């Protein structure tokens, strides 16, 4: 099976981020970490990184320790749900699924002054044709070393799957052009390849991917990695949900995007609270309108949960109050009537519905006088 041409493979090998001969010593050091430090991450990372002379070696010694400390949580796999609820649970149980590996590695990096991100996406141990599941099925990490982002998979680490056997690589900082052969991030920005690989090409398998990388005829991402990193944490979550859905528009990713939109409106609502205290009505109304627009978008994507419906209705009522204060009575009435429509989608015995509908009726009577 043709995977990579000899020339491209040689280039990747020469550019691969291999460690020095000190890696064996670092690995020994990591495996000798005192058990007493396992729950004390600041002290643990200080111990682990003490012999490291650069960020690459820091990243490696943390990677080896995690590989040695954690076992894959087969119980969680059978139950098809995550058992651990915190980093403390992961450390205590010494077991985890890919998400646990990724967030623990990210936390270790935080204490080691390394910039690291968790990446969610789709991964397969083989190189053949495959079909993406409805939602991401794997998590790994991206790490910044010497001003460049690199990829690693602490869950798979040093396993000998088809990918590792074919390319004589492990999952610590392989070239992105190799990593993409069986790892497709839900957020395309984290491919770190140029050109980027579409979902359709990824599903065809490694041969099609390598052909696309060599051909260079795919459109590159218009959104740069730096643009994404410059966003706030809340904005990154929303951007990732949007790009994940656009890349693979399944019902599962649609629901994820819908929930992310509502979650971001909650962030905006906190900002409107500040504006309300400052009595900045125009700015308050503008931000409230944006929050409502996001709620409408979320509702168009997926059925809202009851708390989300209540939140949406509350935004409409608050906007109507603000509009009435600037004498925009007609628009205020429209938004109160819309709030009534939204509230009617809640159960009749819902306490918030009963309370809010009463408030709407009273307010509408005043505005219509």
Q: What is the pLDDT of residue 150?
A: 96
Helix residue ranges, H only, the chain: 6-15, 23-31, 41-49, 55-69, 74-79, 87-93, 98-111, 162-167, 176-179, 199-204, 206-215, 225-230, 233-247, 251-277, 281-301, 306-325, 329-343, 351-367
Nearest C-alpha neighbor of 45 from the set 59, 56, 28, 27: 59
Q: Is the pLDDT of residue 1 over 50?
A: no
Rounded Cα distance, 114 and 130, in Å: 34
Q: What is the pLDDT of residue 23?
A: 83
276-294 pLDDT tens trace: 665 688 888 999 999 999 9
- Can you give the pLDDT at residue 347? 96
Instruction: Give me the percent of the chain exceeding a pLDDT of 90.
Output: 81
- DSSP letter, residue 248: S
Q: Band of the pLDDT at 220, cuts 50, 70, 90?
A: low
What's the number of CA atoms in the CB half-sphere (13 Å) around residue 228? 19
Do you know the residue count of the chain? 369
Which residue would you say has higher pLDDT here, 279 or 119?
119
The pLDDT mean for the chain works out to: 91
| 124 class by beta-carbon count within 10 Å (0-12 exposed, 13-18 middle, 19+ buried) | buried
pLDDT reported for residue 224: 76
Share of the chain above pLDDT 70, in %: 91
Does position 250 have pLDDT exceeding 70, yes or no? yes
**Six token digits for residue 125:** 């141990």
Mean pLDDT score, 91-102? 96
**Whole-model pTM?**
0.88
Q: Is pLDDT above 60 for 175?
A: yes
Higher pLDDT, 218 or 51: 51
Largest CA distance in the chain: 84
How high is the pLDDT of residue 222?
A: 45
By three-state DSSP, how is residue 123 classified?
strand
pLDDT tens figures, 38-82: 999 999 999 999 999 999 999 999 999 999 999 999 999 888 889
Domains delineated in the chain: 6-218 (3.10.620), 249-367 (1.25.40)
pLDDT band at 369 (very low <50, low <70, confident <90, very high): confident
Inform me whether the pLDDT recorded for 16 exceeds 70: no
User: Could you check whether the bond before residue 81 is cis, i.e. omega within 30 degrees of 0?
Assistant: no
């Amino acid at each position: 099976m043709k995977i990579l041409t000899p020339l491209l493979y040689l280039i990747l090998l020469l550019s691969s981020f291999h460690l020095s001969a000190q890696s064996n010593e670092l690995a020994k050091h990591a495996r000798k970490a005192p058990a007493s430090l396992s729950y004390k991450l600041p002290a643990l990372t200080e111990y682990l990184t003490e012999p490291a002379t650069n960020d690459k070696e820091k990243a490696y010694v943390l990677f080896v320790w995690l590989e040695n400390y954690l076992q894959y949580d087969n119980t969680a796999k059978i139950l098809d749900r995550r058992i651990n609820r915190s980093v403390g649970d992961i450390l205590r149980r010494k077991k985890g699924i890919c998400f646990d590996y990724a967030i623990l590695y990210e936390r270790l990096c935080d204490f080691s002054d390394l910039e690291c991100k968790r990446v969610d996406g789709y991964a397969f141990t083989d190189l053949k044709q495959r079909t993406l599941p409805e939602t991401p099925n794997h998590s790994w990490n991206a790490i910044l070393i010497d001003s460049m982002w690199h990829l690693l998979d602490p869950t798979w680490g040093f396993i000998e799957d088809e990918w590792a056997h074919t390319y004589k690589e492990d999952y610590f900082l392989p070239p992105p052009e190799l990593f993409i052969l069986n790892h497709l991030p839900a957020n395309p920005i984290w491919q770190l390849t140029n050109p980027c690989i579409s979902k359709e090409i990824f599903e065809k398998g490694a041969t099609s991917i390598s052909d696309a990388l060599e051909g260079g005829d795919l459109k590159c991402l218009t959104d740069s990695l730096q643009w994404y990193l410059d966003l706030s944490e809340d904005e990154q979550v929303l951007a990732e949900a949007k790009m994940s859905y656009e890349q693979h528009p399944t019902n599962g990713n649609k629901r994820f995007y819908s929930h992310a939109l509502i979650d971001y409106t909650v962030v905006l609502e906190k900002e409107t609270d500040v504006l309300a205290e400052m009595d900045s009505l125009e700015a308050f109304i503008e931000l409230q309108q944006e929050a409502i627009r996001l709620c409408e978008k979320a509702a168009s994507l997926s059925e809202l949960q009851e708390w989300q419906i209540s939140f949406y209705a509350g935004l409409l009522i608050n906007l109507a109050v603000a509009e009435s204060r600037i004498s925009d009575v007609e628009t205020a009435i429209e938004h109160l009537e819309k709030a009534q429509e939204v509230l009617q989608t809640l159960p009749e015995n819902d306490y918030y519905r009963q309370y809010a509908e009463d408030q709407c009726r009273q307010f509408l009577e005043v505005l219509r006088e």
